[in-house]
Amino acid sequence: MEEMEAQVRLTSSSQGIQSLETAFSILNCFKEAKAPMSVSELSKRMGMPKNKLHKYLVSFTRVGALIQNKKDSTYALGATLIELGLVALQQFDVVKIAKPYIREFGKQLNHSVALAIWSDDGPMIAEYERSDKPIQVEIQAGYRLPLLMTALGKCFAAFLPPAQVQPLLQQEIRKYGLDNHMVDEELKKIRGARVSFRNTPFAGIPGSMSVASPIFDYTGNMVAALCLIGFAGEIDFSQSSAEVIRLIEKADQITNLLT
């Protein structure tokens, strides 16, 4: 955990990518204009030469971030940005909506509770409610989790579209020497039960045991996972236990709020 925090501090204080920051400045210029713009108008607003702007516009158009009107040679924000915005909005909504329920759930059970969402690098802790117990599981928002070595990660591996998780899934299978067939069988069980478990300690992962259940949005897509985290002997991790059943019910309750 300390190593990951150090990496975060290093990343935040290191030099960024100037061209990427410039690219976002161009997109912000379109946002503020609230209307299509020609290269000449954009050049004036940005204070940037047209030939330099042209390279950005070509790339933006290729990836769908901008669209070009061939008739008057103006550019406008494209569908790709709308799609990204909708995904970001969904993730923001689930975190905002789930937060009070996570706090209430954690206090009811006096267990540490986490909410994770999907990021480009895999599952990421978005909210965390610690218990009042003397020995604490400490996790910070932004902490990224392995896909196949955590209950939260297994939830995403089971319920997200295969194309979305396959690269990371295969990478971890190779890294940890896992068996493809056994992984597939476990993910099938998780889909059937709507709950995933980690019942053994794993280096660098807080807590020795955890159980997670998926949360879905109005489209039926998984957008988050709710998790109980603790140590051996603290939580009954059997699938029929009252705590596991309440976890699934709480995840379903948040799902209902999103649908």
Domain ranges for the chain: 17-77, 84-258
pLDDT level of residue 148 (50, 70, 90 thresholds): very high
Is CATH 3.30.70.660 what the domain over 17-77 is classified as, yes or no?
A: no
**Looking at residue 5, what is its pLDDT?**
40
The more confidently predicted of residues 16 and 49 is 49
For the four alpha carbons of 252, 254, 257 and 259, in that order, the dihedral sign comes to negative
Give whole-number Cα distances, 247 to 68, 83, 218, in Å: 49, 31, 20
Give whole-number Cα distances, 143 to 3, 121, 124, 158, in Å: 11, 11, 6, 20
For helices 50-63 and 39-46, angle between their N-to-C axes, nearest 10 degrees: 110
pLDDT level of residue 135 (50, 70, 90 thresholds): low
Token code pair at residue 232: 């051996």
* Among 127, 130, 118, residue whose Cα is nearest residue 99: 127
Which residues, including other chains, have CB under 8 Å from residue 191's CB and lie 6 or more apart? 158, 159
122 torsion bin: left (phi>0), alpha (psi -120 to 50), beta (else): left
pLDDT (tens digit per residue) in 73-95 = 999 998 888 777 767 666 667 88
pLDDT level of residue 106 (50, 70, 90 thresholds): confident
Q: Tell the CATH topology of 84-258.
A: Beta-Lactamase (3.30.450)
pLDDT (tens digit per residue) in 217-249 = 888 889 999 998 877 777 777 788 888 999 999
Q: What is the mean pLDDT of the chain?
A: 84
Beta bridge partners of 76: 67
For the four alpha carbons of 88, 144, 182 and 229, in that order, the dihedral sign comes to negative
Contact call for residues 136 and 109 (beta carbons, < 8 A): no
Vertex 87: Cα angle to 249 and 20 (nearest 5): 140
Give whole-number Cα distances, 149 to 34, 94, 125, 202, 210, in Å: 46, 24, 15, 7, 11
Q: What percent of the chain has pLDDT over 70?
A: 86
**Looking at residue 251, what is its pLDDT?**
94
Contact call for residues 208 and 231 (beta carbons, < 8 A): yes
**Looking at residue 12, what is its pLDDT?**
42
Which residues, including other chains, have CB under 8 Å from residue 168's CB and lie 6 or more apart? 122, 147
**Looking at residue 8, what is its pLDDT?**
37
**Looking at residue 128, what is its pLDDT?**
86
Which residues, including other chains, have CB under 8 Å from residue 185's CB and lie 6 or more apart? none
Ranges 25-29, 53-57, 136-140, 254-258: which has the least confidence: 136-140
